[in-house]
Structure 1
C-alpha cells in the first residue's frame, strides 16, 4: 500500500516538473556593443522584463514589442516559442533566454539573437516587425549518412517540405506552425517541423522556409534556424503531437553546428530537395497569380462604362494643356533670379506673365527627378481636374528635353485666412498666427490643418481628446482607436523631424497594442490662445503653463512606460 502511494505521488508531481530549456546557439555582432550604464541598456532591461512577463500568459507563443520606439535609444524585441510548447514551458524558456543574453551569451550588445530547442529570443536597435530576415542564421546536420534508397528519401523529403511550407504559411495570424510524419522505410519514420514568426505574410513565410530548406543536405536529419523561421526533420520524434501526448524521443545523434554560409560536401544533394520543393511552390504561386488577374479583370469590367470612356478622352486632351519652352522662358525672363519666388525639394518657382497678360507661377522641376514623361502627364491630368477655390489652378505644363515645368495661377501675397475664409470674423487668424503666403503650392501649409492641429493639442492637454472626434461618427469606432490615432497624429507634427515616427513604426503601432508611445510635445505651429487668469497671474505672461494629464477611456489606462 505504501509503495502504491509513493508511485501515485510521483505520477502526480511529474507533469509539474519543468525541465531546463536546451540551449542551441547565440549570435551577437561585436560591432554593436553598448556600455552597461547607458539608456539603451536600461531600455533593454525593460524589454526583457516585458517579454518574460508576456510569455507567462500568452497562449500564442509569440510577442513583439518596443521600448521608447521614437527615440535614438529605441530597442525592439520578440520571442517565438516552438508551436507545440505550452505556456509554462514557453515562459521558462523565454525567462532563461533573456537572462542568459544579459549575463553570459551576449552581454552589452545592441543586437543579439539566441536559439533554444523550445524558443528563440531576438532584439535590435532597429525595428524588424513584419520583416522577413534570413540572417542571422545557423544550421545543424545529423552526421548519420543515408543507408537506404537515397532517391526515395529525396522524394519523401520533398513531399514533406511542401506540406510543411503550406501548413506553416497558412497557419493564421496567431501561429504559423506545422508538423508532418511520413514513413520512410518499414523501420524508419521521418518527422518534420516548420515555423515562421506570425508577423510574416504568407509569401514571406514561404520564402523564408524555402531558403532554410535549401541549406539542408540530404542526411537522416537536420535543422536550419533563421531569424524569421526555422525548419527541422529527423528520423525520431522530437515534437509533441496535436493530441498533446508527448512522443518519447530516442537519444539524439551527434550534431555538427555551423553558422558559416560556406557549402559543404552535400550541396549536390540539397539541390535535389530544392528542386523538389520549388517546382510545386512555383506552380501554386502561378495558379494563385492567375486567379488574382482574373479577379482584377472582373473588377475592371464592372466599372461604369462612362468613366472608362471619359478617362480615354481626358488622356488625349492632356496635350491641350501643353506650353512650349520658349513661351515660358519669355514669361519668366529666362527663369531669372529676379523672377524667382522660392525653391523647394522638387524644384524652383518663378513668377511670370504670359502674352495674354495672365500672371502665372512656373514650377521648374529638378532635373534629377526620376519621374517619366507618361507618369508626369498622368499627374498633370489628375491635378488639372482638381477645382477648388482654395487651390491654385493648374494652367498647363511643359515637357521638352530634360525640362519638366508646371504652370500654375499666381497668388499674390495675402494673409492665409483671406484665401480660406474671406472676411469671416471667426477665421483662423483670430486664433492662430498668420503665416504669409507666396504661391499656393510647394511649401504651402493648409490653414485648416493648423486649426485642427491646435484644437487637437488643446483637447489632448485638457485630458478630453475624444471631444476632438466628430460627434456624428463618435460611436462608430472604439475609444482606444480614436485616442491612438490622435496620439500618433500629434507625434507626426513634432517640430523636430527626428522625433516624428516612421511609417513602419506607425503601422506597427496600429497593429499592436503593446507598443509604448512617448507623450507628444507642443506642435511646431501651435499658438496658445487661452490662458487661465489664475495661472497667468502666478507665472507671468512670458512663461508657459505645463500641466500633466492622466486619463483613461473605458477603464483602459493610457500612460507612458518608462524603464526603471
Structure 2
C-alpha cells in the first residue's frame, strides 16, 4: 500500500516504563492440550522445574524473553518452555509479576495437560511435550489466528472510521516488515517495532508490533499482518496470537528510547495533468 502521510518507525532496542501497568496485569486467554500426563509422574516434576527456570530467566533478561529448549529434555521426556513479556508492558517488575502469575495459573487452568499456553495482556507463557508440540516452540511457525483482542469502541462516524482505518493500514504496512527485519541479524531476541503516523494535521496514531524470537522475518510479517487485519477501525486496540502481538492508540503509549528510527516522508501530491489539445478554447 502506498504511504500518503508521515510514518515514523522505531525498531525496538530496550524496554521502557509504563506507569500504572502493575494494576493492569490480567489473564486474557489460555489453551490446554487434550493429552494429559500421569499425576505424580516425572513429567509433572520436570514441568514445575521448567516453568520456574524459564520465568526466572525471562525476568532477568533485558528483553523479557527466555526459552528452555535442551536436547537432553527430549531424551528425558521433560517439557520445553517459553516465556515472553510484551515490550510495551512497562518496567521489569511488571514483566516478572506477569510471568509468575502466568506460570502459576497455567497449571491451574490446565491440570496435567502435556502442553499448554497462558496469555496475559502483558506476557505469554507456554510449555510443550518435546516429542510432539515442543517442536513448535523450538522452531515456531506463525500462528495467524487472533487468540484474543480488545479495543476502544469510541468511534463517532463512518468518515472517522475511514480515516483511522487508512492510518492503521499505513502504519501496519511499515510496522510488520520493520519488526521482521529486527531479527534479520539472527539474534535470538523478540522482534519488535514502534511507529507513528498522522491521521489528520492535529491527530496521530501510534502502533507497536512484536513477534516471538525464532520466527523468520517472512513469518513474523505474515503473523502481524493477519492479526492486524482482524482489528476493527477504532481509536485503539490490541490483538494477540501465540507468535505475535500488535497494539495501536491515539496517544504515545510507548516511546522506546535509544532507537534506530526510520522516517518516511509524505508522498508528494500528484502533479496536475495538462489539458489535452482538444480541451483548449
TM-score > 0.5 by shorter chain: yes
Residue 222 of structure 2 corresponds to: 207
Alpha-carbon deviations, 1:43-76, whole Å to 9, x = none? 1101111112212321122111136522473311
Greater RCO (CA < 8 Å, at least 6 residues apart):
2
Residue 101 of structure 1 corresponds to: 106
Correspondence 1:130 to 2:144: no
Indicate if the aligned counterparts of 1:212 and 1:225 stay in contact, CA closer than 8 A.
yes
Residue 221 of structure 1 corresponds to: 236
Distance 1:91 1:111, change over 3 A: same
Among residues 117, 120, 139, which one is paired with 2:149 in the alignment?
139
Residue 95 of structure 2 corresponds to: 90
* Residue 185 of structure 1: how far off its partner (Å): 3.7
Query: C-alpha separation between the residues in 2 aligned to 1:238 and 1:36?
Result: 44
* Residue 163 of structure 1: how far off its partner (Å): 1.8
Q: Equivalent residue of 1:56, what SS?
A: helix
Which structure features the higher share of strand residues? 2
Query: C-alpha separation between the residues in 2 aligned to 1:43 and 1:198?
Result: 24
Distance 1:30 1:215, change over 3 A: same
Q: Equivalent residue of 1:179, what SS?
A: strand
For residues 416-495 of structure 1, what are the structure 2 equivalents within 5 Å?
Answer: none
Distance 1:39 1:136, change over 3 A: farther
Distance 1:150 1:26, change over 3 A: closer
Q: Equivalent residue of 1:210, what SS?
A: helix
Alpha-carbon deviations, 1:148-192, whole Å to 9, x = none? 433332321121101211221111322311111223245643221
Indicate if the aligned counterparts of 2:30 and 2:106 stay in contact, CA closer than 8 A.
no
* Residue 214 of structure 1: how far off its partner (Å): 2.1
Distance 1:209 1:43, change over 3 A: same
Residue 271 of structure 2 corresponds to: none
Residue 339 of structure 1 corresponds to: none
Q: Equivalent residue of 2:209, what SS?
A: strand
Alpha-carbon deviations, 1:504-553, whole Å to 9, x = none? xxxxxxxxxxxxxxxxxxxxxxxxxxxxxxxxxxxxxxxxxxxxxxxxxx
* Residue 146 of structure 1: how far off its partner (Å): 4.7
Residue 242 of structure 1 corresponds to: 256
For residues 7-156 of structure 1, what are the structure 2 equivalents within 5 Å?
Answer: 19-20=22-23, 22-29=25-32, 31-66=34-69, 68-71=72-75, 73-84=77-88, 85-103=90-108, 105-125=109-129, 126-127=133-134, 128=136, 129-134=138-143, 135=145, 137-147=147-157, 148-156=159-167
Q: Equivalent residue of 2:192, what SS?
A: strand
Query: C-alpha separation between the residues in 2 aligned to 1:43 and 1:55?
Result: 18
Query: C-alpha separation between the residues in 2 aligned to 1:211 and 1:175?
Result: 18
The CA RMSD measured in Å over matched residues stands at: 2.8
Residue 192 of structure 2 corresponds to: 177
Query: C-alpha separation between the residues in 2 aligned to 1:37 and 1:119?
Result: 29
For residues 357-396 of structure 1, what are the structure 2 equivalents within 5 Å?
Answer: none
Q: Equivalent residue of 1:32, what SS?
A: coil
Indicate if the aligned counterparts of 1:79 and 1:120 stay in contact, CA closer than 8 A.
yes
Indicate if the aligned counterparts of 1:181 and 1:189 stay in contact, CA closer than 8 A.
yes
Q: Equivalent residue of 1:163, what SS?
A: helix
Query: C-alpha separation between the residues in 1 aligned to 2:191 and 2:118?
Result: 20
Q: Give structure 1 stretches of 5+ with no counterpart.
A: 1-14, 245-564
Distance 1:136 1:218, change over 3 A: closer
Residue 164 of structure 1 corresponds to: 175
Which structure features the higher share of helix residues? 1
* Residue 20 of structure 1: how far off its partner (Å): 4.8
Indicate if the aligned counterparts of 2:58 and 2:84 stay in contact, CA closer than 8 A.
no
Distance 1:102 1:130, change over 3 A: same
* Residue 207 of structure 1: how far off its partner (Å): 1.1
Q: Which moved more, 1:29-38 or 1:76-85?
A: 29-38
